Amino acid sequence: MKGIRELFGTTRATGDFLRSGREKPPSDNCFLSRGNRKSRRTSLRLLLSGGGTAGILAKKTDILPVTGAGSGVFSDLAATGGLIPDPCLSMIDHQEQQMQRTVFTGVLVLVGMSVFLIGPGSGAVSADEKAVDSPEVRLPEVRLFDGKTLEGWQGDAEWFRVEDGAIVGGNLKQKIPHNFFLATTKEYADFELTLEFRLTGEGTNAGVQIRSRRIPDHHEMIGYQADLGQNYWGALYDESRRNKILAAPAKEPLAKVLKAADWNSYRIRCEGRRIQLWINDLQTVDYTEADESMEQHGLIAVQIHGGPPGEARYRNIQIRPLVKK
């Protein structure tokens, strides 16, 4: 076994301090680097400034047999049965408290980092993690209508205009001779379309065409329509093709959320052969096309239906393309 001097080293200042009983040591000679202080005779660790190495001064029986201790601090410790003077113990107590505070602070930091990285609750998954697992690449919304002009749209300027930040189809002064459509110049396949609408006039009917196209040399369009007005609010109609309602909502739930004479929101989602509709966040249609001959891409258009004087207003028209990973 190596001598204590070989393990730790020593200095005259350290020995003088331990023999003197002074209240303060000449330097940080005493340091509790590990363990606990159940007994002043056991498991005390010292860092002696002369040697700069941490070691254990344990029970008296652990100290006395060590050879090479010689005189000075270590022989004094052996003579006292491994007892450390009170001033040194006080410093050990003080440094032990500092270490406990440091460890406690470190634990708090680690816990805080864990909450930040993992999220609250066991097994919580952040929005970003869900997005990574989602089969869809979420693209930003794009405005189809700038609120000022009809740029990017095609239709009869006599029956469509821009007023107060909205597209207005029809008028309240004269009968509307037939259906009119204002359509986008671009085609779309899979997308989520959001907009606001308001109908004015007695018996006014309108709608939003999706995955549609114009019939050559005709005022009509052919394709799916998210219907509006009369008894068709929130229904999915097949315009100028099968000429029938493909799906429609129950009337009572819709009546609770619909504001017939005010602005309402429409959300239209087309993905694959599935079409979903919501009015004011109430789902009105969830339809999957069984006929594979039906086109699943085309123009988007707003309609004013032929009939008595009436107006259909559309604003805040935005689209978000749906792209799979």
Contact 48, 10 (CB under 8 A): yes
In this structure, are 96 and 157 located in the same domain? no
Structural domain range at position 9: 4-116
Nearest C-alpha neighbor of 234 from the set 202, 199, 201: 199
Instruction: Please give the helix or strand (H or E) that residue 320 lies within, else none.
Output: strand 310-324
Mean pLDDT, the chain, integer: 74
Does the structure show a pLDDT above 80 at 103? no
pLDDT tens for 264-320 read 999 999 999 999 999 999 999 999 999 999 999 999 999 999 999 999 999 999 999
Q: Helix, strand, coil proportions of the chain in percent (round to 5)?
A: 20, 35, 40
In this structure, are 93 and 29 located in the same domain? yes
The answer to the question of residue 182 being in a domain is: yes
Q: Which pair of structure tokens corresponds to residue 247?
A: 């799906």
In this structure, are 164 and 303 located in the same domain? yes
Q: Where is the domain boundary, 83, 116, 149?
A: 116
Q: Look at residue 101 in the predicted model and tell me its pLDDT.
A: 57
The answer to the question of residue 197 being in a domain is: yes
Question: pTM for the full model?
Answer: 0.60
The answer to the question of residue 129 being in a domain is: no
The answer to the question of residue 268 being in a domain is: yes
Q: Look at residue 42 in the predicted model and tell me its pLDDT.
A: 39
Does the structure show a pLDDT above 90 at 113? no
Does the structure show a pLDDT above 80 at 118? no
Q: Look at residue 60 in the predicted model and tell me its pLDDT.
A: 36
